[in-house]
Amino acid sequence: MSVLFNFEVHTPYRPFFTGRVESITLTLTDGEAGIYAHHAPFTAPVVSCILRIKDENGEWKSAFITDGILEVKDHKTVLIVDAAEWPNEIDAERARAAKEKAEESIKGASLKFESDNAKAKLRRAEYRLKACTLALLCGFLFLFCKAAPVPQEAEMEEETVDVFVALPSLDDTLPVSAFGEIWGYVVAGREAALRPGLPVSDIGYFGAEIDSYGSLVDVPDRRKLPAFSGRVHLVVKCDSRALTHFVLVPGSAERKALIADLTAASNRYDGLQIDFENVPQRDGDFFFPF
């Protein structure tokens, strides 16, 4: 008789799965992994993939999951992801449209972060479609994928469009004398867009991110803004709910290491802006002391 273990899958919107299982299969950042009962404890980042669950009856279930964190303990295994969907919950037409849009974005990307973002969206769309295909081939759930009234990750993603703002002439008189500070933002790789002479006291310099392991990466070089005489602040962003939860857990090695990285990186700047836009509600009390 197979040995079972407790397995849970959670998203910011709902508990997706809870039950006794024989095994699970999913993709970590370093490749595919299978988890069985009594597996050695570990924590690892997960990438968008097909999650396969062999339940207590020996039947296989498949679901689409986005990036997240897997924690294997002695008594249970917990997976926290931004989104998880059964095949019958996936809007296949929407996934195809997202795939086409991501492919076009990859072709038009001029900066690394734009290309990486588009590739991540493409991977999510491809695995959504793969989840639908698996359901069709196996002949379970439904004969075709359809939309369901659950929050889908595609609905959480902001539409990105190019916006062009006509800046005033430097000869114009701007009504800024009443402000002690005026902030602007610069994206790494587009430093040339910062025109000299603008009435800006502070710059937020975008580019630094938190990678799948909770480490600080892509810190922009402060020296690339030599002509700006005001204050420059490092902006660090994290768009993943699951990853945000991962690095905010009090006492964790990842949280301590990230704080050390942020402290070291911000020494070259006048300030630090923490741009974590998807802090789970239950982690609010962890975020402020962080």
pLDDT reading at 149 higher than 80: no
The answer to whether 204 and 182 are in contact (CB under 8 A) is: no
pLDDT reading at 103 higher than 80: yes
pLDDT at 166: 54
283-290: which pairs have CB atoms within 8 A and are 24 or more residues apart? 283/244, 283/245, 283/248, 286/248, 286/249, 286/250, 287/248, 289/250, 290/248, 290/255, 290/259
Domain assignment present for 263: yes
Domain containing residue 124: 1-157
Tell how far CA 243 is from the center of its chain: 7
Q: How many residues does the structure list for the chain?
A: 290
Contacts of 180 (CB under 8 A, 6+ apart): 201
pLDDT at 131: 83
* One domain for residues 24 and 149: yes
Helices 241-248, 253-266: axis angle to 10 degrees equals: 90
Q: What's the first-to-final CA gap in the chain, in angstroms?
A: 46
pLDDT at 51: 95
> What span, in angstroms and rounded, lies between the C-alpha atoms of 187 and 207?
6
pLDDT reading at 86 higher than 70: yes
pLDDT digits (tens, 9 = 90+) for 196-211: 777 888 999 988 888 8
pLDDT digits (tens, 9 = 90+) for 266-282: 998 999 999 888 888 88
Q: What is the number of H-type helices and E-type strands within the chain?
A: 6, 14
pLDDT digits (tens, 9 = 90+) for 172-191: 555 555 677 888 898 888 88
* One domain for residues 113 and 194: no
Domain assignment present for 166: no
* One domain for residues 25 and 140: yes
For residue 287 the two structure tokens come to 């975020």
> What span, in angstroms and rounded, lies between the C-alpha atoms of 222 and 52?
45
* One domain for residues 132 and 210: no
pLDDT at 145: 40
* One domain for residues 22 and 136: yes
Picking from 140, 157, 174, the residue at the C-terminal end of a domain is: 157
* One domain for residues 205 and 92: no
Amino acid identity for residue 152 in this structure: Q
Q: How many domains does the chain have?
A: 2
| Domain containing residue 214: CATH number | 3.20.20.80
Domain assignment present for 67: yes
pLDDT band at 262 (very low <50, low <70, confident <90, very high): very high
Backbone φ, ψ for residue 36 (5° rounding): -125, 175
pLDDT digits (tens, 9 = 90+) for 31-81: 889 999 888 888 888 999 999 999 999 998 999 999 999 999 878 899 999
* One domain for residues 74 and 148: yes
pLDDT at 142: 39
pLDDT at 23: 94
Domain assignment present for 33: yes
* One domain for residues 196 and 237: yes
Domain assignment present for 177: no
pLDDT reading at 85 higher than 50: yes
The answer to whether 146 and 112 are in contact (CB under 8 A) is: no
* One domain for residues 81 and 13: yes
> What span, in angstroms and rounded, lies between the C-alpha atoms of 272 and 82?
26
pLDDT at 172: 54
pLDDT at 283: 85
For residue 33 the two structure tokens come to 């992994």
* One domain for residues 146 and 199: no
Q: What percent of the chain has pLDDT over 90?
A: 26
The answer to whether 181 and 202 are in contact (CB under 8 A) is: yes
pLDDT reading at 140 higher than 50: no
| Domain containing residue 44: CATH number | 2.60.15.10
Q: State mean pLDDT over 213-222.
A: 87
Domain assignment present for 88: yes
pLDDT at 244: 86
pLDDT at 6: 94
> What span, in angstroms and rounded, lies between the C-alpha atoms of 281 and 288?
12
SS3 of residue 7 by DSSP: strand
Domain assignment present for 194: yes
* One domain for residues 204 and 275: yes
Domain assignment present for 84: yes
The answer to whether 83 and 65 are in contact (CB under 8 A) is: yes
pLDDT at 232: 94
pLDDT at 137: 53
* One domain for residues 4 and 147: yes
